[in-house]
Amino acid sequence: MTRYIVRRLLQTVVTAIFVTVIVFSLARLTGDPTLLILPTEATEADRTFFRRQLGLDRSLPEQYLTFLGNALRGDLGVSFRYREPALDLVLSRLPATLELAAASMALAVIVALPIGILAAIRRGSYLDVGTRWFATLGQSTPTFWLGLVLMLIFAVRLGWLPSSGRGGIEYLILPAVTLGWYSAAAIARLTRSSMLEMMQNDFIRFERLAGLPERVIVLKHALKNAAIPIITYMALQFGVLLSGAVVTEQVFAWPGLGQVVVEAINTRDYPVIQAAVLVTAFLFLLINLAVDLLYSWLDPRIRY
Amino acid sequence: MAAEPTETATLRPVEPAEPLSGPGRRVESYWVRLRSLVHGAPVLTGVMVAAFLVAAIFAPWIAPHDPGAASFLVALNPPFWVEGGSIAYPLGADQLGRDILSRLIYGAQLSLIVSFFAIVIAGSVGIVLGLTAGYVGGAIDSLIMRIVDAFLAMPFILMALGFVAALGTSVTNIVIVMAITNWARYARLVRGEVLSVKERDFVALARVAGQPRWRIVWKHVLPNVTNSIIILATLDLGRVIILEASLSFLGLGVQPPAISWGLMLADGRSYMTVAWWLTVMPGLAILFTVLSLNIMGDWLRDRLDPRQRIE
């Protein structure tokens, strides 16, 4: 058990180091930052001075180690545009994005779990066919388009909900439906297939023969055993949500991380882009680590 | 989904006995095979995928108008079934009076180019690294897989945006970015398959027979993982089409005068309340294309990989 945890932790650390390498190379691919930071009339001497100050005259490995060292102390550079620490800027917008992602996830799970389970029980019924269609359709819909169409119908035509911004719960509904749509479809599909697989197990057949009520069999025994792949998948979906939020936020003018990133890209504010990618990637790694550790605690048989 | 791979699952259908001689018999046997392959295929989906391919490849011959030709006389003309629409602009015209249908047809071209090349590159890189990791094992395996994990941990759209910002927005760069953000999934898939194939008897036999490593991987391992790769690639075509459209929608994909469905949507956004067709039509084009690719991918999965069958 302890060995497994240590191994899993080490793996996460190594992966995290590679993430920093990718993010570091992202910055180095962008060319000379002095062209962006300094005004066009700056002399070559100014540029050389600035490059030395930024440490750009040193070798790449050296630069990387400095970057890593600073990152570990929480220093991801200063936003070119706002003259504020990039990390602070990203962290200040993170709550809005997490709120949106959490609401979308909640919505997806509330919708997807019941229909996935029902579809598996009533296999071949209209509900099952409908669920399968929903699953395929949901995974084929471009998020931003769905957002625009929902906005057109519910905000512009019907006037039931606000079209953009962040405020009370009514502001959250359209963005959360938009962002959660894909995940709902994906989770419904996986729930259905995991439940179907579980229901074919011998122990479920024995329980039926033994005359246990169907409700107990499905909810207590089949669902419990089908839960592990479903929960793993939800953790994965959370990453999808964090990433998809960039687009959804843009559609609904939701003041989260996505807005900062798109603005940062348009103004070539690289420290902010780096910080945003790094923070979300670490969040995702931590969630996955937590889920894996949770399993090894729940189910002692699990060893990788 | 995660059933144990069994010997029977990967057996191919029994082939009809090889005909003794004569070209006629041979054609017949191909016909039988082709028919059995296509049996139960989703016809409508196939037609839609074909329509997408034809539109993309033959765009200049099919499009009724020049996609860039503006005509203020017909600006914001609605589709033909709406009052005020005309059959000359069947799906309506945009704010500059350009034919939406023609632009959709040219947009298909960009979608196809980007998704096809991105997946070919991502797939090739992923296959080579996945085969290496799975077959060689040990430290190389661990190293490759941690890199794969790192790429999979990066938020997809954010990573793509970061690379686009770094490299620029030409079509070539978009293809490269899509390949960079997608190769890891292929590597992981191939490695997993290799690990299970490598334990099978025929690989052990080939090893005992003294065949060189590369030959075993090429002749015995790779053919056994191609089905999974084809399935993933089909499903990925749709994913990449949506991703490309998302980047364009954010204004960070290809730039005008290039025509992209995502770009059309972004342009039409400001006219949403007065001319819904500017946003709805490109959206439907993406939806139907990706939907048919996904249905196709699911069908292929059922056909080629019975282990993953959901039914």
DSSP A88-141: HHHHHHHHHHHHHHHHHHHHHHHHHHHHHHHHHHTTTSHHHHHHHHHHHHHTTS
Residue of A nearest to B310 (CA): A193
In this structure, what DSSP letter does residue A246 have?
H
Token representation of residue A105: 């996830």
Residues of A in Cβ contact (< 8 Å) with B154: 19, 22, 277, 280-281
Judged by a CB distance cut-off of 8 A, whether residue A169 touches chain B is: no
C-alpha torsion B136→B137→B138→B139, nearest 10: 80
d(CA B55, CA B67): 13
Token representation of residue A145: 């388009």
Model confidence pLDDT, tens digit, residues A214-232: 777 777 777 777 777 788 8
Share of chain A above pLDDT 70, in %: 94
> Considering chain A, what is the average pLDDT of its residues?
82
- pLDDT the model gives residue B2: 41
d(CA A267, CA A86): 14
Q: Under an 8 A CB cutoff, do A142 and B295 touch?
A: no
Q: Examine the predicted complex and report whether its ipTM is higher than 0.95.
A: no
The arithmetic mean of pLDDT across residues A256-261, rounded, is 86
Judged by a CB distance cut-off of 8 A, whether residue A196 touches chain B is: yes
Quick one: pLDDT band at residue A38, thresholds 50, 70, 90? confident
Residues of A in Cβ contact (< 8 Å) with B144: none
Out of B146, B150, B286, name the one closest to residue A142 (CB).
B286
Q: Under an 8 A CB cutoff, do B167 and A29 touch?
A: yes
d(CA B149, CA A188): 25
Q: Under an 8 A CB cutoff, do A15 and B153 touch?
A: yes
For chain A positions 141-160, those within 8 Å of chain B (CB to CB) are 141-145, 148-149, 151-152, 156
10-residue mean pLDDT series, chain B (311 residues): 41 48 56 66 82 86 82 78 77 82 89 92 93 88 89 83 82 90 90 83 83 81 84 88 89 85 87 85 91 86 64 41
> What is the maximum alpha-carbon separation in chain B?
77
The arithmetic mean of pLDDT across residues A41-47, rounded, is 78
- pLDDT the model gives residue B5: 42
Judged by a CB distance cut-off of 8 A, whether residue A68 touches chain B is: no
CA separation, residue B296 to residues A124, B48, B179 (Å): 21, 10, 22
Q: Under an 8 A CB cutoff, do A284 and B153 touch?
A: yes
In this structure, what DSSP letter does residue A253 have?
T
Model confidence pLDDT, tens digit, residues A83-106: 888 888 889 989 989 999 999 999
Walk me through the domains of chain A, giving residue ranges and CATH numbers.
86-298 (1.10.3720.10)
Judged by a CB distance cut-off of 8 A, whether residue A15 touches chain B is: yes
Q: Which of A22, A93, A201, A266 best probes binding to B when mutated, by most B CB atoms within 10 angstroms?
A: A22
Judged by a CB distance cut-off of 8 A, whether residue A253 touches chain B is: no
Entry pTM: 0.82
Quick one: pLDDT band at residue A304, thresholds 50, 70, 90? very low
Q: How many C-beta atoms lie closer than 10 Å to residue A41's C-beta?
A: 6
- pLDDT the model gives residue A164: 77
Minimal CA separation from B45 to chain A, in Å:
13
d(CA B152, CA B36): 37
- pLDDT the model gives residue B33: 66
Task: Determine the residue type at B104.
Answer: L
Q: Under an 8 A CB cutoff, do A261 and B154 touch?
A: no
- pLDDT the model gives residue B186: 92
- pLDDT the model gives residue B26: 56
- pLDDT the model gives residue B123: 93
Q: Under an 8 A CB cutoff, do B294 and A136 touch?
A: yes
Q: Under an 8 A CB cutoff, do A262 and B252 touch?
A: yes
Q: Under an 8 A CB cutoff, do B154 and A143 touch?
A: no
What would the 3-class secondary structure string for chain B be? Answer: CCCCCCCHHHCCCCCCCCCCCCHHHHHHHHHHHHHHHHCCCCHHHHHHHHHHHHHHHCHHHHCCCCCCCCCHHHCCCCCCCCCCCCCCCCCCECCCCCEHHHHHHHHHHHHHHHHHHHHHHHHHHHHHHHHHHHHHCHHHHHHHHHHHHHHHHCCHHHHHHHHHHHHCCCHHHHHHHHHHHHHHHHHHHHHHHHHHHHCCHHHHHHHHCCCCHHHHHHHHHHHHHHHHHHHHHHHHHHHHHHHHHHHHHCCCCCCCCCCCHHHHHHHHHHHCCCCCHHHHHHHHHHHHHHHHHHHHHHHHHHHHCHHHCCC
Out of A29, A140, A250, name the one closest to residue B290 (CB).
A140
Residue of A nearest to B298 (CA): A136
Q: How many C-beta atoms lie closer than 10 Å to residue B263's C-beta?
A: 25
